[in-house]
Amino acid sequence: MLETRVREVVGSVFGVAPDELPERLDPDTVPGWTSLRQIQLMMALESAFGIEIDPNLLPALASGPAIVQYLEETLAVPDGTAR
């Protein structure tokens, strides 16, 4: 499931086991979620899902649900690249 994979990536970036992450993933609930970590998270997501994320979208991708929605839409694109 996509949400599980996203939690695994978030956990790896923040050094936390996925099952120890809070239910809601965002800068207010995940300790250490800074702008630098946001960039590291986007790079890790690019690697994990084989996509390229437009840097202009970084502010919009600052929560678990936003990331999952973006990935659902992006991975549905035939060439696998971000819009």
For the chain, percent of residues with pLDDT exceeding 70 = 92
Taking the CA atoms of 80, 26, 66 and 69 in sequence, report the sign of the dihedral they define: positive
pLDDT tens readout for residues 19-37: 999 999 999 999 999 999 9
pTM of the model: 0.87
Read off the DSSP letter of residue 73: H
List the helix and strand counts (H, then E) for the chain.
3, 0
pLDDT tens readout for residues 54-67: 999 999 999 999 99
CA distance 66 to 36: 18
pLDDT at position 82 is 47
Residue 80 has pLDDT above 70, yes or no: no
Other beta carbons less than 10 A from residue 14's beta carbon: 17
What is the average per-residue pLDDT within 43-58? 96
Other beta carbons less than 10 A from residue 66's beta carbon: 15
